[in-house]
Amino acid sequence: MNDNSALYAFNKFGDTILRAAFAMTGSYPEAEDITQEVFLTLHAKPQDFESDEHMKAWLLRTAINRCRNLRKSARMRRDTPLDEALANTLSCEFTPRDNEIRERIAKLPERYSSVIFLYYYEEYNIREIASILGKSENTVSSLLQRGRKKLKTELEKEGYIYET
């Protein structure tokens, strides 16, 4: 890989990684930090990728791991002031319905939110998600099914009418 590989990766997949981090953290500033860390890691430790899809999968896996680490950290265990939460929500251009669903996805346990994000937002199939996450296809399928069910329950509690 040449010196421009991290720049190429950022130009090609930067928005995707930012969206993934935002979907998992629910915080635009945290998502920006994670995105920066992912591409700095690639710059510092260049990788050999078979294809752009392989590169994208590596970047997503790295971002998901960073989001997981952030969720475990004491920094994320503190309460976020309402004004900050609203600013984070409004900083990404979603409709109110999209915001509500995105917020619910971000509140799901990481094992569900990452699978739902990769399946619905990045349009990976179950086999590809299994490869990215290092899990079996059956596990990914079960997590996706359970995540959908949990998301549906949470949305219905808030009065959202779930359409099938």
Residue 1 has pLDDT above 90, yes or no: no
Of 1.10.10.10, 1.20.120.80, 3.40.190.10, 3.30.420.40, the CATH number of 95-164 is: 1.10.10.10
Residue whose structure tokens are 């997949």:
13
- Range list for CATH 1.10.10.10 in the chain: 95-164
CB atoms within 10 A of CB 71: 17
CB 115 within 8 A of CB 127: no
Residues 112-141 pLDDT 10s:
988 988 888 888 899 989 988 889 999 999
The pLDDT value given to residue 99: 67
- Report the run of H or E that residue 59 belongs to, with start and end: helix 52-72
The pLDDT value given to residue 95: 56
The pLDDT value given to residue 2: 46
**What gap in Å lies between CA 131 and CA 37, rounded to an integer?**
22
Query: Tokens in use for 28?
Result: 């635009």
The secondary structure of 73-88 as a DSSP string is SHHHHSPPPHHHHHHH
Residue 24 has pLDDT above 70, yes or no: yes
The secondary structure of 8-41 as a DSSP string is HHHHHHHHHHHHHHHHHHS-HHHHHHHHHHHHHH
Please state the length of the chain: 164
- Report the run of H or E that residue 119 belongs to, with start and end: none
Residues 50-109 pLDDT 10s:
999 999 999 999 999 898 888 776 454 444 443 444 344 434 455 556 667 777 888 888
Amino acid at position 9, single letter: A
